[in-house]
Structure 1
Amino acid sequence: MKERIKESLRELTGLVGVSGSEQEVVKYMQERLLPLADEVKVDRNGNVIAIKNGNGPGPKVMISSHSDEVGFCVKNILPNGFIMFDKVGGVSDQLLLGRKVWITTRKLPGIIGIKAGHMQTPEESMRVKTTRECYIDVGASSRVEVEGLGIRIGDPIVFQSDFMEMADKDLVSTKSVDNRIHCAILIELFKELQGVEFAGKLFGVVTVQEEVGLQGAVMAGNAIEPDYAIVLDTIPAGDTPDIDTEISLPVYLGAGPACPIADGVRGGMAFNYIHPKVREIVEEQAMKASIPLQTITLIGDGYTTDAASLTSANKGIPVGVVATPRRYSHSPVELVNLNDALGVLKIVTGIVIENGMKDLSFI
């Protein structure tokens, strides 16, 4: 099972799916879920909804992952053939200079240029350039030549990144682990449920545009009207030398899935606090499967998930998050431990199998 997750992740992270341009990921997920579900549909905005009917009455449970990744898009093509670009989602300016990129879903190669070191002033060598000061070189000498490659304004751009296994083969580093790891988990969840009886109805959802405002989840939540939802996403691991782990971010790679109890970006927007009964459901399944669960609060630290939009969708949906820790967020070298992801799979499989056994009232 772990090897299947790894291979699905390898394929998924090799796709270009910046927010608003998720078509390749949507097609992949539709094709993989189609033989495993009773029905698979894609709404007008790209949310994939896979439905599996249980063998008796029970609640509708929505389990979701988002398809999009952070990246860039073509802002302008200069007369001399260089490309200006905009950020899509939260990418640090520190990651820009000298990086290889793929442009469009056809992965046309490009380079974010960097001024030769021996030509930089001492001030330039110390300053981080912003996106507005950077450009992409595709080896063309004119705008006409760039357009001849099929590059247009608005086309998606991502960091070029290989799929690297560490010395410990359970540790994998690449781009878009956030959140393709849980797209892979959704596929495995539907495989695990083949021939298994459960009550109610499962909606496996792959949402769009999470990285730019949690857009797809609210669309799907309003359409499905689930009785409760489990959002699958990644969460930053704080176990590196540059973070005071126990004070700021007590989440460890390889220590099991995480369950954020409360999270929200600065200013109080996109706030989510796990529904008390959903918390019980998650913790009970983790205990039954002997999976260690890392609980955490991340309020005001810029972390949020689709759960924040689902809490107010369809007049309010009881929701919780089960997350896979990963280091080096929103970079081309996100690092994940597949054992943590396997733990997420076991928890959500148990949730579906025991769907309907828990009263979902608030008190």
Structure 2
Amino acid sequence: MSHSKTLTKEAGTAKERIREQLRHLVSLVGVSGSEQEVVKYLKESLSPISDEVKVDHSGNIIAVKHGIAPGPKIMVSAHSDEIGFCVKNILPDGYIIFDKIGGVSDQLLQGRKVWITNKKIPGIIGIKAGHLQTSEESKQVKSAQDCYIDVGAFTKMQAEEMGIKIGDAIVFQSDFMEMHDKDLISTKSVDNRINCAILLELFNQVKASDFSGTLYGVVTVQEEVGLRGASMIGNVIEPDYAIVLDTIPAGDTPDINTEKNLPVYLGKGPACPISDGVRGEGFFTYIHPKVREMIEEQSENADVPVQYLTLNGDAYVTDAANFNLAGKGMPLGVVATPRRYSHSPVELVHLNDAEGVLKIVKGIVSDNGNKSLDFI
């Protein structure tokens, strides 16, 4: 694909290539179930740097790269989808009512700009004029069921003529904002487009002569609505072990007791949840002991600090929870990129953390087959 080739040629460092891939990836609309635009871009970008790329009927991507000698099958995965909304109905006066897809907070809704479909039809989630709000109304948080989107149409027919249909994907409109420190990026869908960018860079850097065995790069769909892509694809590859790449909330803001509840800091390196599970929902992941050793060794080799933590009982879960039950059991671990303000249009990520994820995972791939995967 000409765009990805241009990025590889023009960006001089891995961090800059990740930045430019992220810039493009977050500009795409890819709500769970409507990931086509993201999947198409990733397939076209992976094809020149892989030995084989497949996309299944649901949109899960499997990219394959063979090493120089026989060895274990290692899978590195990320997910392509983002949280958002879909068109529930078009009212006679042209306003749009909508449903949420994934974990979107009602606090984020009113007064926000949105894009509808991958054509980015502009819309506004309406808010009652402040001059007319009662003191009680000014303190209320409206649910999605009570909100509407204004697309500048005055009839249902006008909205339909714009190309809007029932079920169309909707995302927050958000620019790619570099902070004063240019390595800090704020935008939508950092979860999980940052790790899609890291996976692209991993395949861009790893040559067949660098490792033994087979590297599988997997990009799943519908993670945000129940890890569904991981369920679809978990038994297809049957890797010997896996590294799941995702984001993780950073706890270093004034509204969180960081050390007690969420000891993850932006700019202090990748995070590794040793154990996580959602209370009452059956999701649970515990890192395989040998995979933990791999992460620790490569962290030391690359001089990249890793933030280790547990998140049991909190609302944090990744594709790892479904992957580790696939086949006869899949040894795995999660290497996560911290980001503040999760599931919002202003997620904040530090590119140094992303580069750290890349270095650790590249080291694990390069060392593939040199460590036993025995549990004891």
* TM-score bracket relative to the smaller structure: over 0.9
Partner in structure 1 of residue 132 of structure 2:
119
Q: When the two structures are superposed, what TM-score results if normalisation uses the length of structure 2?
A: 0.95
Distance 1:320 1:193 in 2: 20
Distance 1:266 1:154 in 2: 31
Partner in structure 1 of residue 122 of structure 2:
109
Q: Report the Cα offset of residue 200 of structure 1.
A: 0.7
Equivalent position SS for 1:230: strand
Alignment of 1:30-179 (within 5 A): 30-179=43-192
Q: Report the Cα offset of residue 270 of structure 1.
A: 1.2
Equivalent position SS for 2:354: helix
Distance 2:281 2:30 in 1: 29
Contact 2:54 2:62 in 1 (8 A): yes
2:282 is equivalent to residue 269 of structure 1? yes
1:184 to 197, 200, 204: 197
Contact 1:20 1:209 in 2 (8 A): yes
Q: Report the Cα offset of residue 352 of structure 1.
A: 0.5
Q: CA RMSD in A?
A: 0.8
Distance 1:151 1:77 in 2: 9
Contact 1:268 1:300 in 2 (8 A): no
Q: Percent identity?
A: 71
Q: Report the Cα offset of residue 197 of structure 1.
A: 2.7
Equivalent position SS for 1:75: strand
Equivalent position SS for 2:64: strand
Distance 1:218 1:360 in 2: 23
Q: Report the Cα offset of residue 186 of structure 1.
A: 0.6
- Structure 1 runs not aligned, ≥5 long: none
Partner in structure 2 of residue 241 of structure 1:
254
Q: Report the Cα offset of residue 196 of structure 1.
A: 3.3
Q: Report the Cα offset of residue 100 of structure 1.
A: 0.1
Q: Report the Cα offset of residue 91 of structure 1.
A: 0.5
2:240 is equivalent to residue 227 of structure 1? yes
Alignment of 1:293-332 (within 5 A): 293-332=306-345
Q: Report the Cα offset of residue 57 of structure 1.
A: 1.1
Contact 2:61 2:218 in 1 (8 A): yes
The amino acid that maps onto 1:311 is N
Number of residues of Structure 1 aligned to a counterpart in Structure 2: 363
Distance 2:56 2:346 in 1: 32
Identify if the C-alpha distance between structure 1 residues 20 and 268 changes in structure 2 by more than 3 Å, giving closer, same or farther. closer
Deviation sequence 1:202-253 (CA, Å, 0-9, x none)? 0001110000000111222211111111000000000000000000000000
- Structure 2 runs not aligned, ≥5 long: 1-13
Contact 1:257 1:341 in 2 (8 A): yes
Distance 2:215 2:286 in 1: 23
Deviation sequence 1:11-31 (CA, Å, 0-9, x none)? 000000000000000001001
Q: Report the Cα offset of residue 96 of structure 1.
A: 0.2
Deviates more, 1:217-226 or 1:86-95: 217-226
Q: Report the Cα offset of residue 195 of structure 1.
A: 5.1
Partner in structure 1 of residue 265 of structure 2:
252
Runs of 4 or more, structure 1, over 6 Å off, are none
Distance 2:293 2:97 in 1: 49
Partner in structure 2 of residue 360 of structure 1:
373
